[in-house]
Structure 1
């Protein structure tokens, strides 16, 4: 979706103020938010692409004025509400939380470190045949889907060169909506001049990971 979250190449957002010696978390509530989001994933109630799409649908004004973990909080509440796992009354504290059934049992405290170290993999053994080869010139499709997409606006309609084929992966644009459409994932090299014209810098390049359905033959 063409939301405020897709800020690559946009102007007028002000400088990025890097915080010197920035801590991992700025407060205990941020630690809890990190844990709650990962716990929700461990329960199997949503996948990573659903969580991203939930954050993308945040009110634009609120998104721009919120901190990183405030955006995570908004997305988590939206996901749990849409899945029927929490109600407006429970959120408001009007009624006590009710027990719910989830696809997987809650992760045990002693298993958290192991699970975090293991991480997750999104490679799959089978999917669409590769549509492109390394060294081929391709064009990012000029599309504007209403749902989730990993194709950034600034790259759409521009040509690049396939530098690497990572093999078959889960397709986020489908996975965010409960669909299964595994396909090849590529690393594509775009020149900054191709992306931004005379405002680009000759010799500078942007490398973007894109899937088959994001690309077309140039």
Structure 2
């Protein structure tokens, strides 16, 4: 079963309106604070990026549909902080934290620039690839997490059961389906797979249009 965020190919959600390239990085001051809170909380080391993505996907559908981008971030962050025992629901309701020693991994102001600039590699040593550039592959159906029922996966439902062509082989990378749930990194080969847009949507906007997706090896099989 797909979650509310898996919107590709769905009717009724309106047009996608691109943000102008010259738009300011934050449309409101509280957006800047939302990013700061997310960065500082993530720096505590209680979860990884896949866990945080799954937390946003697990927001109640009514909330997900009405929340803006940074509201989704803050709502998911609050859920994570409570789940990991870093904040209590009473503290959230009161809008202030109970007195406590500063966390050993607290992100200080002078370290923020380096934290934002640091790239976190997700490539890992791992098994040899099963597929090569040019191979035809089929995605598994349904698009589901094979480790945890209803868990995080990067295979969108609109591409499940579809056949495409491998265009890039990236080597082994951390598998989000396991990493999001504390089950280890389980590295697998990551591929970029191209699908004919007409196969996914029923009709393409233009002749030869393609959709490319980065997909892990366990998502794929020989057609």
Tell me the CA shift for residue 100 of structure 1.
6.9
Q: Residue 150 of structure 1 aligns with which residue?
A: 154
Tell me the CA shift for residue 115 of structure 1.
1.9
Residue 122 in structure 1 maps to residue 122 in structure 2: yes
Residue 191 in structure 1 maps to residue 190 in structure 2: no
Tell me the CA shift for residue 95 of structure 1.
7.3
Tell me the CA shift for residue 114 of structure 1.
1.5
Question: Which residues in structure 2 correspond to 1:18-29 (within 5 Å)?
Answer: 18=18, 21-29=22-30
Q: Using a 3 Å threshold, how does the CA distance of structure 1 residues 60 and 100 change in structure 2: closer, same or farther? A: farther
Return the alpha-carbon distance in structure 1 between the equivalents of residues 7 and 101 of structure 2: 37
Listed as ranges, the gaps of 5+ residues in structure 2 are: 145-149
Return the alpha-carbon distance in structure 1 between the equivalents of residues 216 and 80 of structure 2: 25
Give structure 1 regions of 4+ aligned residues with deviation exceeding 6 angstroms. none
Relative to the length of structure 1, the TM-score reads 0.91
Q: Using a 3 Å threshold, how does the CA distance of structure 1 residues 64 and 94 change in structure 2: closer, same or farther? A: closer
Residue 139 in structure 1 maps to residue 138 in structure 2: yes
Residue 57 in structure 1 maps to residue 58 in structure 2: yes
Tell me the CA shift for residue 101 of structure 1.
8.2
Return the alpha-carbon distance in structure 2 between the equivalents of residues 114 and 28 of structure 1: 22
Residue 164 in structure 1 maps to residue 168 in structure 2: yes
Q: Using a 3 Å threshold, how does the CA distance of structure 1 residues 110 and 142 change in structure 2: closer, same or farther? A: same
Contact 1:166 1:184 in 2 (8 A): yes
Return the alpha-carbon distance in structure 2 between the equivalents of residues 54 and 121 of structure 1: 22
Return the alpha-carbon distance in structure 2 between the equivalents of residues 139 and 150 of structure 1: 15
Relative to the length of structure 2, the TM-score reads 0.89
Could you say what secondary structure the match of 1:210 adopts? strand
Listed as ranges, the gaps of 5+ residues in structure 1 are: none
Give the total of aligned pairs. Answer: 215
Q: Residue 147 of structure 2 aligns with which residue?
A: none
Return the alpha-carbon distance in structure 1 between the equivalents of residues 193 and 6 of structure 2: 19
* Aligned-pair Cα RMSD in Å: 1.9
Return the alpha-carbon distance in structure 2 between the equivalents of residues 100 and 191 of structure 1: 55
